Amino acid sequence: MNHDRADAARRGLYYSHPACLEHDPRALSPGHPDTPERLIALESALAERDWLGWERRPAPSAAEAQLLLVHTPRHVAGIRELCEAGGGAIDPDTFVGEASYRAALHAAGGACAMARDLLAGDSEVAFCAVRPSGHHAEPGRAMGFCLFDNIAVAAATALADLGPRRVFVLDWDVHAGNGTAEIFRHRTDVLFASIHQAGLFPGTGPLSDAGSGEGEGYTINLPVPPGSGEPLWIGLLREVVLPAAATFGPQLVLVSAGFDAHVRDPLANCSLQTDSFARMSSLVRDFARSRSVGLGLVLEGGYNKEVLAECVCATLSALAGVSAPRDPGERPTAQELAMIARAKAQVGNYWPL
């Protein structure tokens, strides 16, 4: 790689599209937490910082064939037809309007474009700021604010069309990534790891669930108790997730980047701080860089819009190596060390840790 291309590769890529602002569940559910203002606040904060030097790229619309790599034809048609009819409620949490299908296409398409550009060597790191979110959408079911599983569509597109044979997907949203887990449950070309608050919506992701059939071992579920903070989250990432991923040997790393494990998020009860996400980002960045593979993050949850903006700015700075988050010096408690040991024992049945 020549000098100019090497410099370009270290400048992060940022994907978004105005259509993602047009999806607004409040038209049918006043007070719904997934608002366009989440993205507006996030992008306003980045604009004030001159986008941290990242290159902005449009999130294109996904092709239906890409959606069908992970979703059933009935599901895709059902979302499209409901939106064309003016929208409605899918379940008590999930609503669509006329513009929601277009927004969802750009959300999935942005994740796919990000994967394509990372694999082409356009950058080492990328961030896809889109909505609606995706990681709860199962093959035949929209739920939890999610219509199509954006990160799963991107991973499946990469594996089908872009060359890699193995993709690692990490989900650090506070809610278990049930949709992504179900989509890849039986597969061995995707290693999926989810750190999430136990007992929270959607109620899935026990430590014992390691995937099914040939895919057993390729799903890592790491539930943490309410109130869990950085020492436990970082401990699980360092001692369980990344060692397993190292053995798996991914050729692309994707992250379902929810920021709702923050202590000030209204929908959960974990205790991460803004810098916690920067530290997790740095760890995953170093992992990807040590293997010369691209790292792409796709926005999921985060429902305090000011906190979301702070966290994304800190994350992008860490991914680009602009700031090196200082270790706060906190260490896991004896109880947390026991949780990490249990997780290592479970995951160690499948991967050397």
**Which active-site residues does the annotation give?**
136
Q: How far apart are CA 334 and CA 332, in angstroms?
A: 7
**Position 1: which residue type?**
M
Find all residues with CB under 8 Å of 134, minimum gap 6, and list them.
107, 108, 111, 146, 147, 148, 149, 150, 151, 152, 153, 179, 256, 298, 300
Residue partners of 51: CB distance under 8 A and separation at least 6: 14
DSSP-derived secondary structure letter, 237: I
Q: How buried is 237 (Cβ within 10 angstroms: 0-12 exposed, 13-18 middle, 19+ buried)?
A: buried
CB 240 within 8 A of CB 353: yes
